């Protein structure tokens, strides 16, 4: 399915911009232009939904909605929804990190003003587009907007702490709330319309320049989300809406207690009874927004680690069999062959490998995991198989420069010997090794292309705060690296689109 290709990993919120967070405005289009000039054909982003606990895009309030922080306020001025005077030239935000709460308040006020202006008749040319969006997105938009309105009415508290009569969307009390919260519901629908409107300009712009956008589906969803509130029968919950078991991973060499994620787990038997329709809607939605999708924690489809509710660590869990091949076969019967890459990192058992290989999906290879176990390490470039996507590192890793600087001296020497690298250019030599491998797809975070240290790290797994906020201060340094990237892309034959665009993308 895939052709030999390459690209960069950079979440939208990490782009430069004047309003405290990367958005779908001018810099996003300039980033696409930069990719095109460097002969890259892949832009990988993190999940695009509204971030939840810890500002994590992997703990979203919805698997279907877009993140309001990504809406470009400047483009709302261009469309007539805001006046120039509504948007100060400088908002006083730092340009190297996102201060999420401050940005949320600042941007929220302007989104409210844009909504009021729209309601009063400003930008009338958008009215028909809004009505079309409201109808087309209704199967998820209605529940999400109501959930958001109710959540705000209850001061941002999770749905499972609301009065019992509001905890299930089908009650008469919820129906009455839907009729009394019409303005708030309309506001949240309007915000989702703005996200969709701006995304629908950026994505075709990228596709027209031969660039595929690679999205991301976390296997699990947040308990405090519209997904769970509106679809409780799809999850293993008690009558009060609380999980009886929670997702995680068992202890390993890196975490003696394992990782306790706290996400509710799916009732796979119940989902199979209706042909995984909720998942079908979820996957359709992510492919509306992106061209290729990475499935996070793929091994959970073979078996997931489930921990009883109330446990403080993930030690006392058990492996529970997932839906396996049946899940993907049923989805592909209705959706066709899907361009998917699977995250298969960590301790992977033969059943997971068999599922991945039987489906033919590329797995992931991370070069930072390649050194220290001898010449048979499967992440070493000489052992990588063609049906793979190779990374120098991911959003969960240290930067390559930070990783290398933290290695013991003997390991540093081994890495330098293998890559024929010097200390100052280790990040570029890692990229060269990824691009020269036989893996069909290759990707590097922008932090590695720039040679940044761990001050630029995106996420530290297991740490709840101060993640996800790193930002590019400008695109100029990336532009100066574009010649290097273009050169090795041509040298190693990666100057192809990763796949042929579907007909609706042309």
Q: What is the DSSP string of 243-307?
A: BSEEEEE---SS-TT-EEEEEEPB-HHHHHHTTTHHHHHHHHHHHHH-SEEEETTGGGGTEEEEE
What is the rounded CA–CA span in Å between residue 81 and residue 118?
Answer: 6
pLDDT digits (tens, 9 = 90+) for 193-206: 999 999 999 999 99
Name the catalytic one among 343, 344, 398, 448. 343
- Average pLDDT value for residue range 440-462: 96
Tokens describing residue 122: 């400003």
Flag the least confident range among 15-19, 86-90, 168-172, 456-460: 86-90
Question: What's the Rg (C-alpha) of the chain?
Answer: 23
- Average pLDDT value for residue range 300-308: 97
> Does 253 have pLDDT greater than 90?
no
Instruction: Label each residue of 130-150 as H, E or C.
Output: HHHHHHHCHHHHHHHHHHHHH
Name the catalytic one among 59, 296, 344, 398. 296
> Does 493 have pLDDT greater than 60?
yes
pLDDT digits (tens, 9 = 90+) for 16-29: 999 999 999 999 99
Q: According to the model, what pLDDT value does residue 504 have?
A: 40
pLDDT digits (tens, 9 = 90+) for 50-63: 999 999 999 999 99
Average pLDDT, the chain: 95
Catalytic status, residue 448: no
> Does 503 have pLDDT greater than 60?
no
> Does 501 have pLDDT greater than 90?
no
Residue 160 in contact with residue 241, Cβ under 8 Å? Answer: yes
- Average pLDDT value for residue range 355-367: 98
Flag the least confident range among 152-166, 248-262, 292-306, 426-440: 248-262
Task: Give the pairing type, strands 212-217 and 292-295.
Answer: parallel
3-state secondary structure of 7: strand
Q: According to the model, what pLDDT value does residue 463 have?
A: 85
What is the rounded CA–CA span in Å between residue 384 and residue 378?
Answer: 6
User: What confidence tier does 502 reach under pLDDT thresholds 50, 70, 90?
Assistant: very low
Buried b (16+ CB within 10 A) or exposed e, 385-418: eebbbbbbbbbbbbbbbbbbeebeeeebeebeeb
> Does 314 have pLDDT greater than 90?
yes
> Does 288 have pLDDT greater than 50?
yes
- Average pLDDT value for residue range 314-342: 97
> Does 322 have pLDDT greater than 60?
yes
pLDDT digits (tens, 9 = 90+) for 76-125: 999 999 999 999 876 789 999 999 999 999 999 999 999 999 999 999 99
Q: According to the model, what pLDDT value does residue 505 have?
A: 40
Provide CB contacts within 8 A for 2, sequence distance 6+: 339, 362, 440, 441, 498, 499
Residue 194: CB atoms within 10 A of its CB come to: 27
Q: Which helix (H) or strand (E) holds 400?
A: helix 400-405
Q: According to the model, what pLDDT value does residue 205 have?
A: 98
Q: According to the model, what pLDDT value does residue 28 have?
A: 98
> Does 461 have pLDDT greater than 90?
no
Task: Match 């308040």 to its residue by tokens.
Answer: 105
> Does 175 have pLDDT greater than 60?
yes
Residue closest to 263 by CA, chosen among 465, 11, 46, 53: 53
Catalytic status, residue 296: yes
> Does 403 have pLDDT greater than 80?
yes
Percent of the chain scored above 90 by pLDDT? 93
> Does 506 have pLDDT greater than 80?
no
Catalytic status, residue 474: no
Q: According to the model, what pLDDT value does residue 321 have?
A: 97
Name the catalytic one among 33, 134, 142, 396. 396
């Amino acid at each position: 399915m895939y052709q030999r290709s390459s690209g960069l990993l950079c979440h939208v919120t990490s782009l430069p911009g004047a309003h405290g967070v990367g958005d779908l405005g001018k810099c996003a289009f300039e980033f696409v232009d930069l990719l095109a000039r460097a002969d890259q054909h892949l832009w990988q982003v993190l999940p695009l939904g509204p971030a939840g606990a810890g500002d994590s895009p992997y703990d979203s309030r919805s698997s279907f909605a877009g993140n309001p922080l990504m809406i470009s306020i400047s483009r709302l001025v261009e469309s007539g929804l805001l006046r120039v005077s509504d948007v100060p030239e400088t908002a006083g935000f730092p340009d190297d990190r996102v201060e999420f709460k401050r940005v949320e308040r600042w941007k929220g006020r302007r989104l409210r003003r844009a909504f009021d202006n729209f309601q009063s008749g400003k930008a009338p040319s958008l009215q028909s587009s809004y009505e079309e969006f409201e109808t087309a997105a209704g199967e998820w938009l209605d529940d999400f907007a109501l959930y958001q309105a109710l959540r705000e009415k209850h001061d941002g508290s999770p749905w499972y702490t609301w009065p019992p009569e509001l905890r299930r969307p089908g009650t008469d009390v919820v129906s009455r709330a839907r009729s009394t919260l019409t303005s708030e519901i309309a506001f949240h629908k309007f915000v989702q319309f703005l996200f969709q409107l701006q995304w629908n300009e950026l994505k075709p712009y990228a596709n027209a320049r031969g660039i595929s956008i690679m999205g991301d589906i976390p296997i699990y969803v947040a308990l405090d989300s519209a997904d769970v509130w509106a679809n409780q029968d799809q999850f293993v919950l008690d009558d009060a809406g609380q999980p009886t078991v929670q997702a995680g991973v068992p202890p390993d060499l890196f975490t003696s207690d394992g990782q306790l994620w706290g996400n509710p787990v799916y009732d796979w038997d119940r989902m199979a009874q209706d042909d995984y329709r909720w998942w079908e809607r979820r996957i359709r939605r992510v492919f509306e927004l992106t061209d290729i999708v990475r499935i996070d924690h793929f091994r959970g489809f073979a078996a997931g680690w489930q921990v009883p509710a109330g446990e403080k660590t993930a030690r006392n869990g058990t492996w529970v069999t997932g839906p396996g091949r049946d899940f993907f076969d049923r989805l592909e019967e209705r959706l066709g062959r899907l361009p998917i890459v699977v995250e298969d990192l960590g301790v992977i058992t033969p059943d997971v490998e068999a599922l991945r290989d039987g489906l033919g999906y590329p797995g992931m290879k991370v070069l930072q995991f390649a050194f220290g176990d001898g010449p048979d390490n499967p992440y070493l470039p000489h052992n990588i198989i063609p049906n793979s996507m190779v990374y120098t590192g991911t959003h969960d890793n240290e930067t390559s420069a930070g990783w290398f600087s933290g290695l013991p001296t003997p390991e540093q020497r081994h890495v330098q010997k293998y890559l024929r690298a010097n200390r100052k250019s280790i990040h570029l030599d890692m990229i060269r090794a990824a691009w020269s491998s036989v893996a069909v797809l290759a990707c590097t975070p922008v932090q590695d292309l720039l040679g940044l240290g761990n001050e630029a790290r995106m996420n530290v797994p297991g740490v709840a705060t101060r993640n996800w906020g790193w930002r590019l201060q400008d695109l100029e340094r990336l532009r100066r690296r574009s010649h290097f990237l273009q050169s090795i892309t041509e040298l190693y034959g990666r100057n192809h689109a990763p796949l042929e665009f579907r007909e609706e993308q042309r």
